[in-house]
Chains A and B, each alone.
Chain A
Amino acid sequence: MVNDTLQVDLAVIGAGPAGQKGAIQAAKAGKTVVIVDRLGVLGGACLNQGTVPSKTLRSAILDLTGFIQSTHFGQEVRQLGDISVQDLRIRVKRVIEDENETLAQQCAANDVATVFGAARFANSHAIEVADQNGAVTARVEADKILIATGSRPRHPIDLPESDGLFVDSDIVFNMDNIPRSLIVLGGGIIGCEYATMFAALGVDVMLMDRRDDLLRMLDNEIAGAFVDFISQMPHMTIRLGQSIDRLQVGADGTRAQVVDKEGGMLEAECLFYSMGRVANIHGLALERAGIELDDLGYLPVNTLFQTSVGHIYAAGDVIGPPALASTSVEQGRLAVRNAFLLKSHHFPEFFPYGIYTIPEISSVGPTEEELKDKGIRYLVGRAKYAEMARGPIAGDTRGLIKLLFHAETREVLAVHIIGTHATELVSLGQMALDHRVRLDYFVDTIFNYPTFAEGFRIAALNGLNKLSEGDWS
């Protein structure tokens, strides 16, 4: 029985980064807003299963093991026995709860109403909210609707039944114990993030992928540096180009096994699969609103984030790549600004990618390969962390800052970084791209000493010295 009908200016389905930001944006513009979410808490997968817990876990593991510094200074990496799953879980739980609380306060402060339950369209202007038994508990009628339902891990087709042997990024936090061995299936961002984290923790990790490379979207040189780094990590084995036949449970029921096409078999105490994500559109009854999907199962939108139905917008993972929390937030904000005809702009041309592997990787702008394909006359400037005073001080001498710049105008075209603080440092490169900064600027600028940011100067010098004059210092 419907006990509640709400009439609002904007209904948002999904309380993750895109939905949350979109809702707040509408409220700030004086609109009435309701957010509907299945999870029963705010923050979406980003906060409750994805970005935030994994980054907290990573930060906790790096602090607890002293991994980066220990490997450099030749001290012992503090090992698994010393760190309990409890230590890690406490920290993650605290961060999530704090953030849940912050989001709830933000919604309250902005008069954003929240309704928990599964949303489905009744028609293009109305949403029904159902409880776990499928009973409709509320109905929301709205002028504009923002679909921001996110994504979930893609399951392997033949996932065997087991009790916790096969996990994805949604349930990895429910592990009772840290396994001693782990197979990671899938060498994309999520697979590489978890593989390096667990290896740093002392778990014997086997990272597998069908293809011959890891993190394919990266500049080749950076991806190569990453593979070099993790190849030397203790507890890490990499197996690329593996065609997998099937997954199975070992005879005693305590081992996850992977059988390859040649009949070879590998096993571990646990298997983590990260084979891409799929849009959450199931159960939304999009057909009743007249919305169409694309071939890959995403919601297609135009540059204003409008779906095929003019007053229904979509943002975040549900519309497909780049599917980052950072880009989703901006999409949600812009979608709502467009929906209510507020002053808006196009989605930024340049935005950074941040990959929270160990070591961290981040980039903004095209890869060297992309520039080559476009026939752009570029040059490369490099700075190794070992060349910056901060590198040895912080115990990270393996990082690299790579600047790509135009060989004639000297404008910065792209920045790719692997190493400590890469995700922070890349913002400096982004500023350079957005303001059409020439490489000379970094040479004439004073950087704090000792910092990693100085790497921009060292890389600029390296690049400029490749030009004819060669007298830069």
Chain B
Amino acid sequence: MVERIETDLAVIGAGPAGQKGAIQAAKVGRRALVVDRLNQLGGACLNQGTIPSKTLREAILDFRGFCDRSSAAAEQISIEDLDHRVRRVVEDQNCLIARQFDKNDIRYVSGAARFIDRDTMTVCDDKRNQTHEIRAERFLVATGSRPRNPGDVPFDQDTILDSDRLLRLKQLPQSMLVLGGGVIGSEYATMFAALGTAVILIDRADRPLSHLDAEVGRKFGDYIEAIGVQLQMGRTIVRIGRGADGGAEAETTTGEVFRADCLFYALGRQANVEELGLERAGVNIDENGYIAVNALFESDNPRVYGAGDVIGRGSLASIAMEQGRLAVRNAFSLKTGQFPEFFPYGIYTIPEVAGIGPTQEELENQGVHFQVGLAYYYELGRGPIAGDSTGMFKLIFHAETLEVLAVHIIGTNATELVHIGQVAIDFHARAHYFIDQIFNYPTFAEGYRVAALNGLNKLAASRQSYASE
């Protein structure tokens, strides 16, 4: 028996973009419905990605903090302890989303959605029996992404792993190869290193997180080497397999072979666009496999919008949410803004890295006349108190107008602290502002003042030497 549904908005995918889109529609009085294959809310973000990995990280930091700083016997961290915590958080969040859907009268349909024409889709259960036919005024495709797993990599359940499988490991490996020094590779590499696993991080680039501001990126590389991650940069892997002892092996173009208990393959993600019947809806895919959308998040079919990882712009949960919200506001012609020019990035490695605005290299290329101010965590009252003296603030401001252009932070609470810089950029604050402002003492936020002082003093010094020449 196929149920026929007419609705204002049909969303495919219950991850961050889909959720926010559906709630936005409901808030303006539209009927919204969400279809998801997973039979659970939250998408990969909640069930396999952002949330579990960040919970894991926080749990590791808590446990590790205890081991490092106490003279009491070091505690053995078990995978059960970590797992317990991750499951609890995921369940809590599932409930939270379910309540939100309930409160906003958003209908949830479990199953695989597929367009049959430009304004209709069907939903099938896991036995491929059709259960629903849904006609909607507007559609939002927010099906997300998954690890990009090439066919020639022999993935299994315990030795050669992607990020979905990594979270299901039953015991802590003694050693691990991490392929890919991007965000996901670096996050897990540092987490496992903190747990005591011997990690080798391999990447083609000359440093991990190669997209970061170079100074911050170098500091990150130095730090993670110091906590025991072995960096093997500038290497391209041509073969991945299992060795004679059952462990993982990876061979480079030059014939070098790296071995460990397991291998984590973290070389990118790909959009979930298959089996959606996009061609029947007149929705096109771009050359990188993402759904092609314009600045309003509208696809080639003006009734179908796309948001989140599936459109391949940013691939962060925070960005996906805003895209989902804006897409739906556009879809129903509500007052809306452009996607913000400046938004922060947050990388949950150990230590955390976050930033907003261009890197120093980008400013140099643009020929902007800028000045850098640095503040090290050990200079801040809070650094030694919290036991973090390795972090750093890098504040970049215009050398003439003194307006804040960018801030990059590595260290404890970086992902929180960066938002202060964001307000500064959005409201054209000048570096002076931070000097005249009172920050709580002792906080890390004070780093803004120390960095501003450092930058302005350097600027004054260079002007003086210029004048005396």
Contact = CB atoms under 8 A, between A and B. Distances in A.
B66 A473 contact: no
Interface stretch (A30-38, A167-175, A419-427): A419-427
B104 to A, nearest CB: 9
Interface in A301-331: 324-327, 329-330
A3 B416 CA distance: 54
A352 B28 contact: no
B15 to A, nearest CB: 12
Contacts of A352: 438-440
A471 B340 CA distance: 20
Interface string B294-322: 00000000000000000000001111011
Nearest to A353: B440
A87 B340 contact: no
A450 B316 CA distance: 10
Contacts of A345: 436
A472 B26 CA distance: 10
B419 interface: yes
Interface string B345-367: 11000000010000000000000
Contact of A446 (B71, B88, B319, B385): B319
B445 A427 contact: yes
A56 B388 CA distance: 12
A392 to B, nearest CB: 5
B55 A437 contact: no
Interface stretch (A57-65, A147-155, A217-225, A266-274): A57-65
A437 B427 contact: yes
Contacts of B16: 449
A242 interface: no
Interface stretch (B89-97, B117-125, B275-283): B89-97
A69 interface: yes
A24 to B, nearest CB: 11
Contact of B443 (A94, A427, A452): A427
Nearest to A330: B438
Interface string A36-79: 00000000000000011001100110011010010001000010
Contacts of B93: 389, 392
B385 A52 contact: yes
Interface stretch (A245-253, A280-288, A428-436): A428-436
A444 B340 contact: yes
B66 A64 contact: yes
A428 B71 contact: no
A354 B62 contact: no
Interface size class of B (residues with CB under 8 A): 35 or more
Contact of B423 (A94, A431, A444): A431
Nearest to A454: B318
B65 interface: yes
B441 interface: yes
A452 B340 contact: no
Given A348-B437, A423-B443, A428-B419, A446 B426 contact: no
Contacts of B55: 392-393
A348 B69 contact: no
B422 interface: yes
Contact of A354 (B85, B415, B422, B443): B443
Contacts of A292: none
Contact of B69 (A60, A421, A449): A60
A463 to B, nearest CB: 14
A42 to B, nearest CB: 14
B96 A424 contact: no
Contacts of B427: 431, 435, 437
A304 to B, nearest CB: 16
Interface in B38-90: 50-51, 54-55, 58, 62, 65-66, 69-72, 84-85, 88-89
A51 B340 CA distance: 40
Interface in B392-419: 413, 415-419
Contacts of B416: 421, 424-425, 448, 451-453
B27 interface: yes
A424 B413 contact: yes
B390 to A, nearest CB: 14
B439 A446 contact: no
B424 interface: yes
Given A431-B424, A448-B345, A389 B340 contact: no
B256 to A, nearest CB: 37
A362 interface: yes
A98 interface: yes
B69 A451 contact: no
A473 B24 contact: yes
Contacts of B243: none
A59 B412 CA distance: 13
A193 to B, nearest CB: 13
B246 interface: no
Contacts of A163: none
Interface of A: 17, 51-52, 55-56, 59-60, 63-64, 66, 69, 73, 78, 82-84, 86-87, 91, 94-95, 98-99, 102, 324-327, 329-330, 345, 348, 351-354, 362, 386-387, 389-390, 392-395, 421, 423-428, 430-432, 434-435, 437, 441, 444-453, 456, 465, 470-473
State the 5 A-B residue pairs at the shortest beta-carbon distance, nearest first: A354-B440, A448-B346, A446-B343, A351-B438, A449-B318
Interface of B: 16, 20, 23-24, 26-29, 50-51, 54-55, 58, 62, 65-66, 69-72, 84-85, 88-89, 92-93, 96, 316-319, 321-322, 325, 334, 337, 340, 343-346, 354, 379, 381-382, 384-387, 413, 415-420, 422-424, 426-427, 429, 433, 436-445, 448
12 contacts: A51-B442, A348-B436, A392-B55, A393-B54, A421-B416, A445-B343, A445-B422, A446-B321, A446-B340, A447-B419, A451-B416, A473-B23
Given A330-B438, A395-B62, A473-B26, 6 more contacts: A386-B96, A435-B423, A449-B16, A471-B28, A473-B23, A473-B24
